[in-house]
Chain A
């Protein structure tokens, strides 16, 4: 079978079955690309995951583009990404239609009211895991002095202060922290 068709079918399945966001997609992609179709070796796949995690954007979109590009160039990248979002797009559009049709019913309001606190917790869990990665050298919660990254702790505190006090925009904060942090590490080499 043509590699382009194999890639499309693979990522169609990745899109359809990866319920629960980013990390849920990784084993699915591995199964399709490495085990079923033998399009990549396990080493290449490990590299793929590293890159997909450290670059911006959803992990499954990143992986789809990377795999497609490495194997079949631009047509591959486009087809993989398209395959990956086709089913989620259709399903979400349907759900959005029903949500806006029925959301003012009191029963639906009660159910949604119970979901909202859970979403707040889930967002805070995601925030805490990023914070852990950002400020601890070994990426685990461990408050020994040598394990703390002081530059990042300082950046975090300053950013949070700017956000709470001056309501600065999210993009400015993130790009600003990247520029300032990189400059600090470059100018004071001993820190790293």
Chain B
């Protein structure tokens, strides 16, 4: 079954996809969820390529499969927008900036380590990155609260406590919620069968 939303190969779209991933990847520091929240801001809010729920699903899949989260997320995003060619283009955009930059740093390693301006810029930028993530989180949390489903709100609060205060790894949190979701499906089926029978 072909995805009905996917458009035929489109040069402009491929170029935008590459440019978006390239610029995101050049500006993100630290772990995978940082780039994913920037990706959400860019792809859902600025470019409007995806629905917010879809972006969250992509993040969950990217998190639970092996490999770097940004690469995984761009594979799925690229596939969604332009099929396998899209995946290749998106991954290319994601890995090129770090490849170019790290190659240069490997060559000019000693100079880089001693340069104060470079060090200061890298440190202060964290404030901007934190602000962007904060903005994204406010929007996302509002939407979860907006569903008015006690289960979702409880899951959000519990997983936050587990992740932030108890340092439970993201992998177990995702697996735990997956199990909760499967239990809900089983429970729904059981209720349906009991009402029918």
Q: Tell me whether A130 and B75 are in contact in the complex, defined as CB-CB below 8 angstroms, given that A18-B67, A114-B155, A115-B178 are known contacts.
A: no
Contact A15 B181 (CB under 8 A): no
Q: Which of A96-135 contact B (CB under 8 A)?
A: 96-97, 99-101, 103, 107, 110-128, 130-131, 133-135
Chain B residues whose C-beta falls within 8 Å of the C-beta of A17 in the assembled complex: 66
Contact A114 B160 (CB under 8 A): no
Contact A155 B128 (CB under 8 A): yes
The reply to whether the CB of A178 lies closer than 8 angstroms to some CB of chain B is: yes
Q: How many residues of B contact A (CB 8 A)?
A: 109
The reply to whether the CB of A175 lies closer than 8 angstroms to some CB of chain B is: yes
Main secondary structure of the interface of B (DSSP, over half): helix
The reply to whether the CB of A8 lies closer than 8 angstroms to some CB of chain B is: no
Contact A55 B72 (CB under 8 A): no
Q: State the Cβ distance, B75 to closest chain A Cβ, in Å.
A: 4
Chain B residues whose C-beta falls within 8 Å of the C-beta of A126 in the assembled complex: 30-34, 37, 133
Chain A residues whose C-beta falls within 8 Å of the C-beta of B59 in the assembled complex: 119, 123
Q: How many residues of A contact B (CB 8 A)?
A: 98
Q: Mark A66-81, 1 if CB is under 8 A from B, else 0.
A: 1001100010011001
- The CA-CA distance from A81 to B28 in the complex, in Å, is 18
Contact B185 A65 (CB under 8 A): no
Q: Mark A6-26, 1 if CB is under 8 A from B, else 0.
A: 000000000111111111010
Q: State the Cβ distance, A65 to closest chain B Cβ, in Å.
A: 4
Contact B137 A124 (CB under 8 A): yes
Contact B135 A169 (CB under 8 A): no
Q: Which of A56, A61, A97, A174 contacts B68 (CB 8 A)?
A: A61
Q: Which of B106, B133, B174 contacts A130 (CB 8 A)?
A: B133
Q: Which of A159-183 contact B (CB under 8 A)?
A: 159-160, 163-164, 167, 169-171, 173-182
Q: State the Cβ distance, A29 to closest chain B Cβ, in Å.
A: 12
- The CA-CA distance from A131 to B102 in the complex, in Å, is 25
Chain B residues whose C-beta falls within 8 Å of the C-beta of A5 in the assembled complex: none
Contact B66 A16 (CB under 8 A): yes
Q: State the Cβ distance, A108 to closest chain B Cβ, in Å.
A: 9
Chain A residues whose C-beta falls within 8 Å of the C-beta of B70 in the assembled complex: 57-58
The reply to whether the CB of B84 lies closer than 8 angstroms to some CB of chain A is: yes
Q: Tell me whether A118 and B125 are in contact in the complex, defined as CB-CB below 8 angstroms, given that A126-B31, A130-B34 are known contacts.
A: no
Q: State the Cβ distance, A116 to closest chain B Cβ, in Å.
A: 4
Q: Tell me whether A192 and B120 are in contact in the complex, defined as CB-CB below 8 angstroms, given that A65-B102, A118-B174, A178-B125 are known contacts.
A: yes
